[in-house]
Structure 1
Amino acid sequence: MATVPPDTRAAKVTEQQEQRWQLFSDTFSPERQPDIPATAKKQILHLWGASEFSWAVCSTSPNVLTALLHSGLLHRSLSEGEMEEELAQLLAESDSEEILMSQLRQFRKKHLLRIIFRDLNRLAPMTETTADISIMADTCIQQSYNWLHDDCCKQLGTPTPHQKMTILGMGKLGAGELNLSSDIDLIFCYPEKGETRGAKRVLTNQEFFTRLGQRLIRVLDATTAEGFVFRVDMRLRPYGQSGALALSYSAMEQYYQDQGRDWERYAMIKARVITGGEAANELMQMLHPFVFRRYIDFSAITALRDMKRMIQQEVARRSIYNNIKLGHGGIREIEFIVQSFQLIHGGRDRSLQVRALLTCLDHLENSGYLPQHVCMELREANEFLRNVEHALQAWKDKQTQTLPSHPDEQFRLALAMGFTGWDDFVTELDRHRNNVDRHFSAIVSEAEDTQDDESHPVADWDTFWNTRLDKEEEVALLNKMGFLNPDETHRRLTTLRDGKVLKTVRRQSAERISQFMPCLLKAVLREENPDQALQRLLTIVEAVLRRTAYLMLLIENPGALEHLVSLCSASPWITEQVARHPALLDEFLNLGNLYTPPEKAQLEDELRQQLAHIPEDDLEIQMESLRYFRMAHMLRVAAAQVVGKMPLMKESDYLTWTAETILCAVQDIAQHQLTSRHGSPGYKSDEPKPGFLIVGYGKLGGIELGPGSDLDLVFIHNSNPNAMTAGERQLDNSMFFTRLGQRIVHMLSTSTMSGQLYEVDMRLRPSGNSGLLVSSLTAFEKYQQKEAWTWEHQALVRARCVAGSPELAKQFETVRAETLSQPRDLTKLQKEVREMRHKMVKSLGTKSTRGGTLPTSWTANSPFHLKHDHGGIVDIEFIVQFAVLAWSHTHPALTRWTDNIRILEELADAKLVSVEHVQQLSEAYKVYRKTLHRQALQNLGSQVSGDQMHSNRKTIISFWNMLLDDEILY
């Protein structure tokens, strides 16, 4: 075919446009010529040059265009409900199905012309175009259904119990993203089985709704002389084309529970209720667990990969490379990328449980699932490709996504897209498609070759696990590959492989385990003690035998498996936590975060985002989210400690910040619940606004939390106890804050399926367990000044405000400083501190030190309790507390801090303790605490062999005797 210069084609288009303008004008008499501004004329000519459909409408029904123009609808967006109101008025006088069908088609013709005009002239963004078409579809479906339902009830009787049909919009309709000539994918269902009443013949509800559905399809889909409304596709319903047209809710639930396939989960992400009222919410709740698993669902990857392969094979088989939806880098690949993240992560991350593609893409970017530049390229590609799709379909109102092959049509498409020629258009199109194809290939890539090195090929392990060699051969293989105790390892492996439990799991689960175990056997051989590593990892495998989607995470992420094996090999505590809470495996996906402690502001933001997607009244899910948050960050601390990437002080900071972040969230949740029920605490205009304060004592107050530490808490309020809350169900302020405290303790300490948040100790409150759970600040101050024991003032040294009212926190700090700064009799203080310390050693220390003396020789047989024995952590803490109580009345800076290290530094600065002694005490304290943390990760107690800490103990006891005038032997 001879090449036609672009200028010639442009001239032909211009000539045709002018001819059409003349023909359009000739349809009106001279005195009735429409007054069309020059700008509007230019837009109309562009419309006719790019859309044969639009010219056909305007040439046969010119008044449609002029009415739209004069009403202003071509140059403004529709307001909410405007389309629905217009169609309702149009159908008000419809007294037959034929009139209903005619009115719907006229309505569609008018609004499709309006939408195409605004789209091709770029008067509306792509998202408005898709939203308008979706609203038009919703409106036509809803109002047709209402008309037909009433008519069916007159003819066939009324379903009982009283109910209406639920129509689910699927695909682009469900997402509100229809294109100009989209099919609409629908599913029909109804709440309950039953029978009709009020007609001669009784029908089952299923028969009634099937007939209603058939009529609705005909009204929308049938092509008459006036065209059609929407082509209806019912193939996404249960059992597809062979299934019943309408099913009850219970039948729907049963189908998806027993037979729902992975592609149906993929489709159901976009399901949206179009008709059905409140009852339809029940259906969506039933279907929610089918779509979104409660865990990170890496089982979806295999299905997604199969779907990806099918897409690529279909493209090759049908030679549809020029299809901008199905071809490489097309619209479907963008949808696939986004929905793969929804299937995998949507169960845990509610922000991904959305239908609209662009909304979900924003969440993927904001939550770090995809890099910013990837999301930007996908957004740009989606907009460009959808605009191309609309331009293709606007040409003749046909459902097509295939690029034209004829040069004249190519030129018109380029013009419609704002390009001067086809080559420029194709260059830009290829740029977007190549970006999409690159990301599509990367995000759900094919599994890497499982051969990682010549010495440990997967094939051998696959043979071991799946072929069943003779016992001698299997043991020999284990020995050859490097296991230290092949007989015991073989016994452990075959107990799992040949045991009853594995034979009772689903076929899919068994296949995943068969795929995973060779990978695991390879991975553990990299460890110094592969037998121990394998034994620990098998506890995790056994914990997820019926939830093997977790194993897919590790199969798909070899780096995650490698780090999991390394950490479990080093720490039985980590093994235990992951086995109890397999959802923690998700943390191994981002190894950068695993070993990098966040700042407190980042922790607060992370938890706020997690809780923001949970309904405020769903306490169970809130509590589970809080528990996962804590476990995830505990795991990060443990992982960083195992690999030596986190100093002791940073570790304690991280654990303390995590606890404070959780306490703030728990208080907010509990206070919101109480306030919504009882109103806010009351106060007079001359009184301060009532506040609530959580004070942390002990390790929390001292910013020294370790793995597994409990929380020593005290609750304080500053309200008028005689005032009442402002809600309908009034409480006095004291009762309000008491209940607030009770709820906080309940949320922290209640055991859910994920365990406790924290063990809470409230015994340090005024009067201990016999005292009020929540004290007023006035009562707290009075108690501290007049009734508190010396050991309670010692505890106050480590008291710190961790959550609650900032104003009340300042008042508390004043009370604390004044209490600690009271002048004291040093001899009496020494005596009371000594006596309390000796009581603790007697009741909590090891047997060898309970008599108050220490053995003169240190051996591995003389255990040392790092915390409670003489020369241990508590001695250092008591030394610091004694110093604060003894000298802060003349050195108020001692009350500034609550952690032992900084108080010791203040003592040195004030020259109350020598720099040498402070350094010795500080170093010993850090060594003890680091050892305690390490012991915790090994699931060991607080005792070590006595000879380990001989030098530190001797130094501490010597200083204790000197400062406290004591006679502890060493």
Structure 2
Amino acid sequence: MIDTDDLPPALAEAAATAWRYILDHPDQAALDALQNQLHREPAVCRQLPRLLACSPFIAGLLRRQPQLLTELIASGLLQRSLAETELRSQLARLLAEPLAELGPTLRRFRQYQMLRIIWRDFSRLADTLETVRDTSLLAEACIELAQSQLQTQLEARFGVPRGRHSGAAQQLIVVAMGKLGARELNVSSDIDLIFAFPEAGVTDGERSISNSEFFIKLGQGLITALDQVTVEGFVFRVDMRLRPYGESGALALNFSAIEEYYQDQGRDWERYAMIKARPITGDPARGAELTATLRPFVFRRYVDFGVIDSLRGMKQMINGEVRRRGLQNDVKLGHGGIREVEFIAQCFQLIRGGRDLGLQQRELLQVLQECAALGCLPEATVAELRRAYLFLRDSEHAIQGYADQQSQALPSEPLQQAALAEVMGLPDWDGYLAELDGHRQRVAAHFRDLIAAPEELDDTPQELALWGEDLDQEALSRLGFQDPAASLEQLQALQQSPRVATLQAEGRERLQQFMPRLLSGCAEAGDPDRTLRRILPLVTAVLRRSAYLAMLLENPPALGELVLLCDASPWIAEQLARHPVLLDELLDRASLYTAPDKALLAAELRQQVARLPPGDLEVQMDALRYFKASHVLRVAASELVGRLPLMQVSDKLTWIAEVILEQVLAVAWTDLTGRFGEPERDSDGYGFAIFAYGKLGGIELSYSSDLDLVFVYDAAAQGVTDGARSIDNVKFYTRLGQRVIHILESRMALGLLYEVDMRLRPSGASGLLVSSLSGFASYQRETAWTWEHQALVRARLVAGDVAVGAGVDALRRDILCRTRDEAALAAEVVAMRRRMREQLLPASARADAEFDLKQSPGGIVDIEFMVQYAVLAWSHRVPELTRWSDNIRILETLAREGLFEQHESQALIDAYLAFRSAAHQLALQQRPGTVPPGEYRESRAAVSALWQRFFAAYDDSNPQAGETGVEK
């Protein structure tokens, strides 16, 4: 007898009864063999009573075929996990045996494997993920090998199906949907399939038929092989209702017909279904082609909050079905059940999957983890959902493994309740229900938080009059609009525009819901009319992609942030109108007003790039552009609300550019080395460095700055790359520089990354794009003009090989530390400044009607030129002046070293910061960098006084010229 002492009394009796029935089997030799195996395997012997009590399906199977367990014990398969290919290879061997028949072989194999799978699951030898994986792999093996055998038989009758255009042999592509697509199949599930084939055409046999007829016959045969119930049972129940046109559609369609269906008629629920779609048979390359064709239907390129409303509708239909059929205690469809966990994951996939490619996965738990990594869900929420999902799936297996029935309903019969509690490791039914209820309550709460409808504004007559035919000046005036006539004119222009006239019903409805909320929000702004005027271009831009309106409707705080930022800055309003995808950044106020430091920026970019398909340059370029645009928006928002002072704004913008340049170089390097191999070089790095000049070099980047760059490499000119398509080093590094510029300057949906100015390279626009280190050194020592040495003051390494960077930096210090004739230097600096002023100073500033913050006397450039003069004149005596590339720290060094008086240095620092801060604010207001002439008088006077002390003798434009010499 078996030992049932560890089971509750009712289950112990059930196990003992089942064992007695097994012992009644007429084949005594089979029973002896089984008992001998059990005697040699005490672990299996201990596990057997639980299986017999908790699964009448297993008990009945062993009663009929005790040798199945004998074989399993002998094989050792009960006690270990299977490799991914083992199930297929086992079934292939069985089908290859002489006289093997497809149908009976598949059914016997299914019985054998389901005994193993349920045994390991109920004994907790396998975790949830192994159970669903093995069940899925069993289905895949049966489908693939059955299809192969059936196609061979059909080809013998009708010939090989061939593409009409390609002439290539065609294979059936079975697309697994739902849980099979994600390899999450439960132990008694049906399988949702779609049958596809690449091309229309005909077979090449004597009895030729169309490819469509051929593959419909093949599909019918495959369904029969799997689904038909015989004396040996079935393999898998097959459901084909997810195919295009459902039950009324053809059983198999070619790729073109499938693509046309989803483009023209695909519905929201089909997008959900397609998330897990996975080709499991046929040519993998053609399967990947089909998947790529369908991806745009599933994953929109923009953030698609419109799916939430659709999900609400689907959930309401499910709830109605649950009530109608009394499924409240269904662990899948009921309150807080498996379906709600799936909806949470799929909702984020459909909202963000087009942009965050890491969400384009099929496995639910991996998707939830990606949601945590992306910040869509808190880690704690994901942990709760994961625990609940695994508990619910284990419950589902315990329910289905009891009688091999496709059910997720909690049992009402006491013995099955006891069995379910026993499999789940809980003392009794009440204990199980308490645990289940806790998980379901948590899932339901998270689900409710995600899809609950936003609080609706009161539908008062005033609110209803804020859009449509009843919108008038009086309504706008009551809201607080100061120029209601002008605002009404703009709103009516929108209403009457062709874009609105051609909107589909869904878009029109969303616009009707959105506009009253927008107008109410604008009424809270400092200047409602101005704010509305700034936001309307964004509304116009997203009319055809009304999911953005849905996003703002679903997230009233995000609409509030939109109004706040557009009221504060037309520059931000323009950025959002040009790139509506940035609206996603308004959803998280904490991150919107938090600009990360460089280490966090670099880590975030690495994580984003790691989720992208390798080798897809366009996708990587898109991701880089979104990364830049989103983080620059965060910096601007933080500056507007006063969280970031000027110095930190410049730091943040500079760091964004630096991490992007490093990634751009990595992408360009990977692309070129993949084609040509790596260049011969001594360095362990790229042998290539990117040096920044100007604002980037001086850590003073602004919102619209271009990048002044110089590319330097250090490798033997006669060296070559080590790839099959070898090229010389010079050509390689030239192409590397060209590729970097291409990635930065290519205009895409999100614009370009940065405009690049390479004119500071040796010989300017006529020089080589990429300089060797030796050539760069020769030019700087022998040929460079004084103004090029001035530019060198602000040069620094921003990306690439640190060894090459160290070589350039050593050269920079050497050049800057040269002994110079200070009078001659001053004369050249003044001449250069005069030329700049003549070319760049606006006419209004020349007439002293305005003060140009950058070019007017006493402005930013005067400070920069004095700093550059000081470095070039005195670094031979004070090399510490060459340490920094930014003006503020150079000015601090000048004071510390006694070259400037402390009050002089501080006056320049204060003026520099004041001018640049004003320029930043004006840029955010999209105004030119000029102010009334009366502003900043003290700062301008301090700058001009120092300019006179240094350069009066050399500045012909100054009436005091000649009175004062250059400070020695």
Q: TM-score, normalized by length of structure 1? A: 0.95
Give the Cα separation in 1 of the matches to 2:504 and 2:609: 34
Matches within 5 A, 1:457-472: 459-466=461-468, 468-469=469-470
State whether structure 2 residue 49 is matched by structure 1 residue 45.
yes
1:264 paired residue among 264, 267, 270: 270
* Aligned equivalent of 1:224: 230
Q: Check whether the contact 2:162–2:211 (CA below 8 A) recurs between aligned residues.
A: yes
* Aligned equivalent of 1:155: 157
1:477-518 deviations in whole A, cap 9, x for unaligned? 222222111111111111111233211122221111111111
- Cα offset for 1:537? 0.8
* Aligned equivalent of 2:507: 509
1:636-661 deviations in whole A, cap 9, x for unaligned? 12111222221101100110000001
Report how many residues are paired.
943
Give the Cα separation in 2 of the matches to 1:652 and 1:770: 31
Give the Cα separation in 1 of the matches to 2:902 and 2:494: 59
User: Could you say what secondary structure the match of 2:799 adopts?
Assistant: strand
2:789 paired residue among 751, 774, 793: 793
Q: Check whether the contact 1:830–1:965 (CA below 8 A) recurs between aligned residues.
A: no
Give the Cα separation in 2 of the matches to 1:450 and 1:371: 29
Q: What is the percent sequence identity of the aligned residues?
A: 49
Give the Cα separation in 1 of the matches to 2:618 and 2:699: 29
Give the Cα separation in 2 of the matches to 1:436 and 1:29: 48
State whether structure 2 residue 736 is matched by structure 1 residue 740.
yes
User: Could you say what secondary structure the match of 1:270 adopts?
Assistant: coil
Q: Check whether the contact 2:14–2:52 (CA below 8 A) recurs between aligned residues.
A: no
Residues 64, 848 of structure 1: CA spacing in aligned structure 2 closer, same or farther, 3 A cutoff? closer
Q: Check whether the contact 2:594–2:638 (CA below 8 A) recurs between aligned residues.
A: yes
- Cα offset for 1:264? 0.3
- Cα offset for 1:786? 2.0
* Aligned equivalent of 2:10: 9
* Aligned equivalent of 1:497: 495
User: Could you say what secondary structure the match of 1:936 adopts?
Assistant: helix
User: Could you say what secondary structure the match of 1:28 adopts?
Assistant: helix
User: Could you say what secondary structure the match of 1:719 adopts?
Assistant: coil
- Cα offset for 1:848? 6.2
User: Could you say what secondary structure the match of 1:446 adopts?
Assistant: coil
- Cα offset for 1:705? 0.2
2:577 paired residue among 567, 571, 579: 579
User: Could you say what secondary structure the match of 1:323 adopts?
Assistant: coil
State whether structure 2 residue 696 is matched by structure 1 residue 700.
yes
State whether structure 2 residue 780 is matched by structure 1 residue 784.
yes
Letter in 1 for 2:139: A
Letter in 2 for 1:638: A
* Aligned equivalent of 1:3: none
Letter in 2 for 1:291: V
* Aligned equivalent of 2:963: none
Q: Check whether the contact 2:466–2:515 (CA below 8 A) recurs between aligned residues.
A: no
Letter in 2 for 1:907: L
Structure 1 window deviating more from structure 2 (789-798 vs 159-168): it is: 159-168
User: Could you say what secondary structure the match of 1:395 adopts?
Assistant: helix
User: Could you say what secondary structure the match of 1:247 adopts?
Assistant: strand
Residues 628, 459 of structure 1: CA spacing in aligned structure 2 closer, same or farther, 3 A cutoff? farther
Q: Check whether the contact 2:15–2:50 (CA below 8 A) recurs between aligned residues.
A: no
Matches within 5 A, 1:762-781: 762-781=758-777
Letter in 2 for 1:753: A
Q: Check whether the contact 2:54–2:416 (CA below 8 A) recurs between aligned residues.
A: no
Q: Check whether the contact 1:724–1:731 (CA below 8 A) recurs between aligned residues.
A: yes
Q: TM-score, normalized by length of structure 2? A: 0.95
Give the Cα separation in 2 of the matches to 1:57 and 1:588: 59
Q: Check whether the contact 1:461–1:521 (CA below 8 A) recurs between aligned residues.
A: no
Matches within 5 A, 1:354-365: 354-365=361-372
User: Could you say what secondary structure the match of 1:947 adopts?
Assistant: coil
Give the Cα separation in 2 of the matches to 1:965 and 1:694: 38
State whether structure 2 residue 714 is matched by structure 1 residue 718.
yes
* Aligned equivalent of 2:295: 288
* Aligned equivalent of 1:476: 474
- Cα offset for 1:113? 0.2
* Aligned equivalent of 2:673: 675
Letter in 1 for 2:265: Q
* Aligned equivalent of 2:945: 958
* Aligned equivalent of 1:236: 242
State whether structure 2 residue 507 is matched by structure 1 residue 520.
no
* Aligned equivalent of 2:899: 912
State whether structure 2 residue 87 is matched by structure 1 residue 83.
yes
Structure 1 window deviating more from structure 2 (204-213 vs 352-361): it is: 204-213
Give the Cα separation in 2 of the matches to 1:69 and 1:910: 85
Residues 119, 969 of structure 1: CA spacing in aligned structure 2 closer, same or farther, 3 A cutoff? farther
Q: Check whether the contact 2:12–2:49 (CA below 8 A) recurs between aligned residues.
A: no
Letter in 1 for 2:13: K
Give the Cα separation in 2 of the matches to 1:781 and 1:49: 85
State whether structure 2 residue 476 is matched by structure 1 residue 439.
no
User: Could you say what secondary structure the match of 1:544 adopts?
Assistant: helix
1:227-263 deviations in whole A, cap 9, x for unaligned? 0000000111111111111111111111111110000
Matches within 5 A, 1:388-427: 388-427=395-434
* Aligned equivalent of 1:833: 829
* Aligned equivalent of 1:310: 317
Give the Cα separation in 2 of the matches to 1:14 and 1:219: 34
Matches within 5 A, 1:605-644: 605-644=603-642
* Aligned equivalent of 2:141: 139
State whether structure 2 residue 62 is matched by structure 1 residue 58.
yes
Residues 232, 788 of structure 1: CA spacing in aligned structure 2 closer, same or farther, 3 A cutoff? same
User: Could you say what secondary structure the match of 1:34 adopts?
Assistant: helix
Give the Cα separation in 2 of the matches to 1:212 and 1:703: 67
1:508-557 deviations in whole A, cap 9, x for unaligned? 21111111111111110001211111111111011112111111111111
Give the Cα separation in 1 of the matches to 2:486 and 2:504: 28
Structure 2: runs of 5 or more not aligned: 1-6, 164-168, 961-968
* Aligned equivalent of 1:900: 887
Structure 1 window deviating more from structure 2 (484-493 vs 649-658): it is: 484-493
Give the Cα separation in 1 of the matches to 2:760 and 2:202: 67
1:779-820 deviations in whole A, cap 9, x for unaligned? 212222222211111111110100001112222221111111
State whether structure 2 residue 812 is matched by structure 1 residue 816.
yes
Give the Cα separation in 2 of the matches to 1:546 and 1:688: 51
User: Could you say what secondary structure the match of 1:384 adopts?
Assistant: helix
- Cα offset for 1:22? 4.8
Q: Check whether the contact 1:458–1:519 (CA below 8 A) recurs between aligned residues.
A: no
1:593-649 deviations in whole A, cap 9, x for unaligned? 111110111111222222223333322222222111111112112111222221101
Q: Check whether the contact 1:721–1:733 (CA below 8 A) recurs between aligned residues.
A: yes
2:72 paired residue among 63, 68, 73: 68
* Aligned equivalent of 2:340: 333
Q: Check whether the contact 1:221–1:232 (CA below 8 A) recurs between aligned residues.
A: yes
- Cα offset for 1:25? 11
State whether structure 2 residue 817 is matched by structure 1 residue 863.
no
User: Could you say what secondary structure the match of 1:187 adopts?
Assistant: strand
User: Could you say what secondary structure the match of 1:948 adopts?
Assistant: coil
1:744-769 deviations in whole A, cap 9, x for unaligned? 11211222232221111111111111
Give the Cα separation in 1 of the matches to 2:31 and 2:812: 94
Q: Check whether the contact 1:695–1:799 (CA below 8 A) recurs between aligned residues.
A: yes
- Cα offset for 1:458? 6.2
Give the Cα separation in 1 of the matches to 2:391 and 2:454: 31
1:547-582 deviations in whole A, cap 9, x for unaligned? 111111111111111111111122111111111111
1:894-938 deviations in whole A, cap 9, x for unaligned? 111111111111111111111111111111101110111111111
Letter in 1 for 2:554: E
1:298 paired residue among 302, 305, 309: 305
- Cα offset for 1:23? 4.6
Q: Check whether the contact 1:265–1:291 (CA below 8 A) recurs between aligned residues.
A: yes
* Aligned equivalent of 2:592: 594
User: Could you say what secondary structure the match of 1:192 adopts?
Assistant: coil
Give the Cα separation in 2 of the matches to 1:30 and 1:581: 73
Give the Cα separation in 1 of the matches to 2:104 and 2:843: 96
- Cα offset for 1:331? 0.8
Letter in 2 for 1:933: H
Structure 1 window deviating more from structure 2 (868-877 vs 723-732): it is: 723-732
Task: State the Cα RMSD in Å.
Answer: 2.0
Give the Cα separation in 2 of the matches to 1:261 and 1:578: 29
